[in-house]
Structure formats: structure tokens, C-alpha cells
């Protein structure tokens, strides 16, 4: 089987590309035998990587060439592709978003060689769809708890009727009564007790859609029923990455706050009974704040949390969901850093193929593959997203395969492939062993091997993760 290698070179790889602009470069093709392709396709798109499930999108695909490549020659094809408007490049702890130029050669009856080159994109506007103001239909705590109480009463009334009709033991009713009791206690401590001291607290904060550096302003109005000593009245500006990994019973939500900044407006003060206290609020969003993101299984959220801290008493609290949107100003073309959490200093993902720098372990990656192994499309998307990442790996050797380099392009020259599986979960693997590690594997037999490897793909036929050692 002929070897066909693709590579991509961008004209300006360090440039911060504005959303909606264009990116140019060249795709190079090297072949060692004559190869016919149904199409050399190049496209722009984006993908997430980190702890959450992989989300991705594609903007535009063009075909640069269809025909035959002759052995011993290098072929170059220029491209000029549009850059998507959204989402922006972002590098965080649990969530990363990168834009790519992807190239793929469709080879009949063979492996389709691929190449990808990441680049940075800074948006000049928000997403195509208007951001939803989640607060526009937000219910007050009292109304929400009252509706919950009504629902729980009806639900458990029906449940009790069914149990009594079925002749179930009466002691079951005691356990059933715990749920509404817990709901009632929550309502009592969260709503009734603060209201008993403070009365009806009114609060507004706007605008709820802001740009980096802009301020949220509003007013808190309190007319307490009794003299109330408070430790403080504060607003916490909260920003976090929230991602979901797995699905079904394996679904897990991971949240990592990158900003929790308190601003105290009144500290150690007494609110006099019967007097109306008006406290002006003014909270500034950081100038380097990343925009809100709402991608499948991957979110970047902002909130403003208000709290009246009452000593030895339940606090009064209220939250406002905030949408941080781009300012619309294009960054200088030489600004080569992706959006990050405020104050962070991380290298772009394009410059760090070693996953150890990002804190992602092979165990976490294997867990993602294990959870998605029955979903062919999802597992292939995940393999594309993590392809090229290097990990410290341990695996139990199963057996050596008879692959040759022509049957599998990942096999090293003078090397071979073996089947193995990870420790926990027992994810099946294909390990491509170079010649200099052959003696080590001969001595290991079927015991545990430890070393470093790079993910290169997914074997759909045998449902195994492909890892190149070395």
C-alpha cells in the first residue's frame, strides 16, 4: 500500500485571525508510490478538548485536487478559506476550544490520510443566535418554592392513594413523608427565615448582557421588620467552566471556577427597622473576561451572586445569570494568544501537544473512550480531537500482531503492532512498537508495560484505541 503524507502550512500561523475573516496557506502531499485520490479536501472547523465530551463544528469544505499523484514528487495546493464567527479560541482548565484547518485525501480501498493545523480566532461579534436572557423568566424563590410545594403535595397524595389501595405496609408512608418534609425545611430556612427579618427585599442588576470591562449597576432595597445586624452585603462575580463527560448512567458534570471576586458594599452595619435602605450596586466585569459559551456538553458561565450575610441566621441570597459577549473590536493581527480565564497564563494548545502540560491523564481519556465505545461517530470524533496527544501509559500486553507497514500506515519501519488493554477501564488498545523497544516487549511477555505513547487514531474494525510508542 502506498504511503501518502499530508502537511499543512499556514501563511501566518501566529496571527490572531478575526472571526468572519479568511485564512490562507498550502497543503503539501508526499507519496512514495502512484496514488489516485477521489478528492483532496480542506476545511475549517473547531473542536473542544479537555474533561468534557468532544463538541465540534465545521464551516466550509473545498476540494483542491482530484486525480493521480505520481511517486517521488511533492505536490502543493494553496487554499483560501473563511474563518467561522463562533466560538472563539479559548484555553482553560476543563475546557479548551481550538480552530483548525483540516485536510483529508480520499483514497479508494485504503486509509484516508489526514492532517490538521490549529490557529487562533478572536471573535468580532457574538454567536449567530441571540443569547438567551435566562433571568427574564426567572421566578422569585418564594414563588418557585410555593410551586414546588404544590407539585409535591399533589404527587405524594397520588402516591399515597396508590400505596393504600395496593395494601402496602403503613410504615412506607413514613418514608414517603420525608421528601415533602425536606422540601418544607428548605423553604423555611431559605425563604421564610430571611424574609422574617428583612421583609420583601427588592434587587435589580443590569445590563445582564455585558462586554469585557463593562459594569453591572443596580440597587438593593431593604426595609427590615426588626433591627438587623449584618456582617456585610456583597456581590460575588462568578465565572466557571462547566463540562459534561460520558452519557446515561456514566454522565458526570465537572465545574471549575476561574473567577470568584467579592465586592462588599456594606460591612458590619445595622439595618434599622422600618427604614428603607437603598444600597447602590456597581460591579465591573474584568477587561480580559472570556465570553459566555454554550456548546454541547461544554459551557462557560457567568453569574452575579448577591448575599446579605446575617450572623447566626440564614443568609438572604439571589443570583443573576450574566451573558458576557465580545466587544466587537478586532484584536491586532499580531496578538497571538487565545482567550483565557482572567489572570491565566497558559500556552496555546497548538504549541503543547504533550497532554501532561494540560493536566489531562490517559486514565481520564480512556474513561471517555470507554463510555463512548458503542457510539461509532462519537468515538471517532473523540479520537480525532485527541490525536497527537502524548501520555504516560500503562497497559497489559495481550499478543503480537502480524501487521506489516503496508497494511497499517502507523506501524514503524522494522517495528510491529501488539494488542493490549489499559488497566482501568480495560480499554482495548493497539500499540505500535518501534524497533528499539522490541527487546523490552519480548521480555515483558503478557505482563504490565509502562511507558509513553501518542494517540494516532481509532481502529473501528476491532474497536481499539491506536497508540504509537516512543
What is the pLDDT at residue 459? Answer: 87
On whether the CB atoms of residues 167 and 160 are closer than 8 A, the answer is: no
Could you tell me the mean pLDDT of each successive run of 10 residues in the chain, 470 residues long?
82 88 94 90 93 91 93 91 92 90 90 89 70 43 54 60 59 55 52 64 88 89 81 90 89 92 80 82 88 94 89 84 79 50 44 49 86 84 85 85 61 83 87 82 77 88 87
- Residue 59's nearest CA partner among 87, 38, 37 is 87
CA dihedral 348, 352, 355, 358 (to 10 degrees): -30
Q: What is the pLDDT of residue 57?
A: 93
pLDDT at 99: 94
pLDDT value for 48:
92
Q: pTM of the prediction?
A: 0.64
CB 307 within 8 A of CB 57: no
C-alpha cell at 41: 479536501
Computed over its alpha carbons, how large is the radius of gyration of the chain? 29
pLDDT of residue 345: 40
CB atoms within 10 A of CB 70: 10
Instruction: Give the 3-state DSSP-derived string for 375-421, with helices as H, strands as E and coil as C.
Output: CHHHHHHHHHHHCCCEEEEEEEEEEECCCCCCCCCCCCCCCEEEEEE
C-alpha cell at 45: 472547523
How many whole angstroms separate alpha carbon 48 and alpha carbon 55? 5
Sign of the C-alpha dihedral computed for residues 391, 396, 399 and 400 taken in this order: positive
Domains and CATH numbers, the chain: 4-122 (2.60.40.640), 134-324 (2.60.40.640), 355-469 (2.40.50.140)
Among 137, 87, 124, 141, which residue's Cα sits nearest to residue 321? 137
What are the phi and psi torsion angles at 258 (to 5°)? -105, -10
* pLDDT at residue 24, as a whole number: 95
Task: Look up residue 109 and give its three cell numbers.
Answer: 480501498
Amino acid at each position: 500500500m502506498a504511503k501518502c503524507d499530508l502537511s499543512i502550512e499556514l501563511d501566518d500561523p501566529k496571527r490572531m485571525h478575526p472571526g468572519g475573516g479568511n485564512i490562507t496557506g498550502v497543503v503539501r502531499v508526499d507519496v512514495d508510490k502512484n496514488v489516485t485520490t477521489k478528492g483532496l479536501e480542506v476545511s475549517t472547523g473547531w473542536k473542544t478538548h479537555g474533561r468534557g465530551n468532544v463538541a465540534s463544528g465545521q464551516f466550509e469544505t473545498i476540494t483542491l485536487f482530484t486525480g493521480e499523484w505520481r511517486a517521488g514528487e511533492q505536490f502543493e495546493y494553496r487554499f483560501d478559506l473563511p474563518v467561522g464567527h463562533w466560538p472563539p479560541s479559548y484555553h482553560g482548565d476543563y475546557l479548551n476550544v481550538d480552530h483548525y484547518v483540516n485536510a483529508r485525501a480520499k483514497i479508494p480501498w485504503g486509509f484516508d490520510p489526514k492532517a490538521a493545523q490549529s490557529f487562533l480566532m478572536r471573535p468580532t461579534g457574538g454567536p449567530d443566535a441571540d443569547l438567551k436572557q435566562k433571568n427574564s423568566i426567572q421566578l422569585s424563590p418564594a414563588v418557585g418554592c410555593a410551586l414546588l410545594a404544590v407539585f409535591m403535595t399533589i404527587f405524594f397524595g397520588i402516591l399515597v392513594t396508590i400505596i393504600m389501595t395496593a395494601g402496602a405496609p403503613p410504615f412506607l408512608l413514613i418514608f414517603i413523608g420525608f421528601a415533602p418534609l425536606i422540601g418544607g425545611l428548605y423553604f423555611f430556612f431559605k425563604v421564610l427565615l430571611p424574609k422574617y427579618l428583612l421583609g420583601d427585599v427588592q434587587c435589580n442588576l443590569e445590563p445582564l448582557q455585558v462586554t469585557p470591562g463593562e459594569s453591572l449597576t443596580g440597587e438593593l432595597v431593604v426595609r427590615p421588620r426588626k433591627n438587623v445586624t449584618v456582617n456585610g452585603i456583597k456581590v460575588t462575580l462568578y465565572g466557571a467552566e462547566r463540562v459534561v463527560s460520558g452519557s446515561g448512567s456514566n454522565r458526570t458534570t465537572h465545574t471549575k471556577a476561574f473567577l470568584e471576586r467579592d465586592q462588599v458594599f456594606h460591612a458590619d452595619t445595622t439595618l434599622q427597622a422600618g427604614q428603607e435602605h437603598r444600597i447602590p450596586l456597581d460591579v465591573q466585569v474584568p477587561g480580559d473576561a472570556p465570553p459566555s459559551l454554550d456548546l454541547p456538553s461544554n459551557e462557560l458561565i457567568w453569574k452575579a451572586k448577591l448575599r446579605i450575610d446575617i450572623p447566626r441566621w440564614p443568609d438572604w441570597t439571589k443570583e443573576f445569570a450574566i451573558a458576557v459577549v465580545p466587544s466587537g473590536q478586532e484584536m491586532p493581527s499580531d496578538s497571538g494568544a487565545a482567550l483565557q480565564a482572567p489572570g491565566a497564563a497558559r500556552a496555546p494548545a497548538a504549541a503543547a501537544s504533550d497532554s501532561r502540560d494540560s493536566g489531562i491523564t490517559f486514565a481520564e481519556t480512556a474513561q471517555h473512550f470507554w463510555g463512548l465505545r458503542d457510539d461509532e461517530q462519537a468515538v471517532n470524533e473523540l479520537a480525532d480531537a485527541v490525536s497527537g496527544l502524548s501520555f504516560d501509559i500503562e497497559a497489559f500486553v495481550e499478543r503480537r500482531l502480524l501487521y506489516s507497514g503496508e497494511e497499517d500506515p502507523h506501524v514503524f519501519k522494522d517495528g510491529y503492532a501488539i494488542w493490549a488493554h489499559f488497566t482501568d477501564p480495560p480499554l482495548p488498545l493497539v500499540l505500535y512498537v518501534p524497533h528499539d523497544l522490541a527487546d523490552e516487549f519480548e521480555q515483558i511477555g503478557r505482563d504490565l508495560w509502562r511507558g509513553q505513547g501518542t494517540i494516532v487514531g481509532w481502529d473501528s474494525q476491532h474497536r481499539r484505541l491506536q497508540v504509537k510508542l516512543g
